Structure 1
Amino acid sequence: MEPRPRSFYILAVFFGLFLVFLYGPTITIAILSFQGPGGGLTFPMRGTSLHWFRDLFEQQAVGDIWGSFSRSLTLGLMVMVTTVVVSVMGGLAFRKRFRGSGILFYLIITSLVIPSILVSLGVGLIWSQSGLTVHWSTSGFGAQLTWTLPFGLLIMFAVFNRFDQSYEEAARDLGASPWQTIRHVVLPIIASSLIGVALFGFTLSYDEFARTLLTSGSYNTLPLEIFGMTTNVTTPVIFALGTLTTVFSFLVIALFLTIYWLAGRRRARRGSDAGKGLV
């Protein structure tokens, strides 16, 4: 076996440092969240316990942790569903060239390079000047869509650019209607991409701060609540909250990966059954 070149070890050390840089802050917060009742916000730790996790489930003197969590979860699901539906519709629409499609495409992408805080300010002003109530479920929802929809549309553009239209032609030759073709042919083929768009939509919404800052109204989402806690909470309870929200994020990712895996197995089983039927 040939020895590895020196460059391999140099790159391995560089990659290890990158992982420390990427996950070090999260690991540090997780460690500090397990301090004893007399713990502080810095090292050295003062004992170990689950005290601050239990404190999260008790009545808090400041903040509305679980209310903000429920709002972020609800908003994330709203944004996720809307992003998936609109992205699929947009991807289908852009499969054929139409007048103004190029300009429309660049207008969609432009929202990604506009500073998020300006988007938040603009959406908030539109709502307030129109006499509408600035609220996380309306103006906040709209502001976050300016962030998630371009990503979803870009994914769908890439998917449909590689999509083999012969499957649709075969379905139409067999008498399928346009809706049946989309439902039974197109959507099952792009199912894995839809799961990716859904994950993008939910995670981008769940932890979005800047675009929600001036559009949430009187009720905070979880990122805004955590930011507010940094100014008046001086105990490791904020670290415990950060640890739980990180675990929740990983659980969401694991859920989507499980759905993707199950969908892949289902497609493989259908393909196997179809092959046996032909034999």
Structure 2
Amino acid sequence: METRPRSFYVLAFIFALFLVFLYGPTLTIAILSFQGPGGGLTFPMRGVSLHWFRDLFEQQAVGDIWGSFGRSLVLGLMVMVTTVVVSVMGGLAFRKRFAGSGVIFYLIIISLVIPSILISLGVGLIFSRAGLNVHWATSGFGSQLTWTLPFGLLIMFAVFNRFDKSYEEAARDQGASSWQTIRHVVLPIIAPMLIGVALFGFTLSYDEFARTLLTAGSYNTLPLEIFGMTTNVTTPVIFALGTLTTGFSLVIIAAFLVAVLIMNRRRARLGSDAGEGMV
């Protein structure tokens, strides 16, 4: 039996430390959220119960939790849809070189390296100076798109870079129009990648704090509400809220992954049926 070199165990130990560093804080919060009614914000735990989860659903003076959750959900869906649509359009546009394409590409990427708080400040100032209402659904929506769109566009650039144009040529040979080719050929092929872009758009928006800080107006999104609670809430109810929001994020990610799996299996089955039909 081949023995592993000592370096393997050293690297395995480093990787284990990395996992502890990555997931330790989340697990700690999840554990502390299950404390009893007399629990505090630190260890040791004082009993085990669901008291603080029940407390979340009762009327209490800890902020507008469910209102902020609803705003984050709606904002995340708005950003998700916009990111998918614009990313696909941008990916299609950049399939051919045009004047200024390089400049536009780098302008898109620059927003990723500008500090988020500066973008939040800039968007907020533009809206206030223009006499527009600073609101989570307008200025907040715009500032978050500067975060999600570059990721979506980069994914679509990579997708269309590897896209086999022979599928489109075959569709046009059969008399399909440009729109029919995109709708019935291109979009079904890249559908799993579109789900990935949608997942990026929603999760990045749902968790975004810095770019929303100065653009949300009078109504907080969930990350802003949680941040506000850290200054005046001294019970594990804030841990229960963090555990629920993390669980919600994981459910959303799982739903997207299941959708991708179903699409891939359906595509494989259709390909298999087509192959058998040709035989």
Quote the residue 1:36 is aligned against.
36
Quote the residue 2:14 is aligned against.
14
Quote the residue 2:103 is aligned against.
103
Instruction: Tell me, in whole angstroms, the C-alpha distance in 1 between the residues paired with 2:273 and 2:71.
Output: 44
Instruction: Tell me, in whole angstroms, the C-alpha distance in 2 between the residues paired with 1:273 and 1:175.
Output: 24
Question: Residue type of the partner of 2:69?
Answer: F
Question: Normalising by structure 1, what TM-score?
Answer: 0.99
Quote the residue 1:276 is aligned against.
276
| Alpha-carbon shift at residue 62 of structure 1 (Å) | 2.2
Instruction: Tell me, in whole angstroms, the C-alpha distance in 2 between the residues paired with 1:68 and 1:61.
Output: 14
Instruction: Tell me, in whole angstroms, the C-alpha distance in 2 between the residues paired with 1:96 and 1:3.
Output: 53
Structure 1: runs of 5+ lacking an equivalent: none
Instruction: Tell me, in whole angstroms, the C-alpha distance in 2 between the residues paired with 1:61 and 1:200.
Output: 33
C-alpha distance after superposition, 1:113-153 (max 9, x if no partner): 11101100111111111111110001100000000000000
| Alpha-carbon shift at residue 110 of structure 1 (Å) | 0.4
Question: Residue type of the partner of 2:55?
Answer: D
- Counting only pairs closer than 5 Å after superposition, residues 146-165 of structure 1 correspond to structure 2 as 146-165=146-165
Instruction: Tell me, in whole angstroms, the C-alpha distance in 2 between the residues paired with 1:68 and 1:260.
Output: 29
Q: Which consecutive aligned stretches of 4+ in structure 1 deviate over 6 angstroms post-superposition? A: none
Question: Residue type of the partner of 2:256?
Answer: F
Instruction: Tell me, in whole angstroms, the C-alpha distance in 2 between the residues paired with 1:96 and 1:193.
Output: 20
Structure 2: runs of 5+ lacking an equivalent: none
Quote the residue 1:222 is aligned against.
222
Quote the residue 1:88 is aligned against.
88
- Counting only pairs closer than 5 Å after superposition, residues 1-279 of structure 1 correspond to structure 2 as 1-279=1-279
| Alpha-carbon shift at residue 264 of structure 1 (Å) | 0.6
C-alpha distance after superposition, 1:17-44 (max 9, x if no partner): 1100000000000010011101000111
Question: Residue type of the partner of 1:260?
Answer: V
| Alpha-carbon shift at residue 276 of structure 1 (Å) | 2.0
Report the RMSD for the aligned CA atoms in angstroms: 0.7
| Alpha-carbon shift at residue 274 of structure 1 (Å) | 1.2
Deviates further, 267-276 or 204-213: 267-276
Question: Normalising by structure 2, what TM-score?
Answer: 0.99
Instruction: Tell me, in whole angstroms, the C-alpha distance in 2 between the residues paired with 1:62 and 1:272.
Output: 56
Question: Residue type of the partner of 1:202?
Answer: F
Aligned length: 279
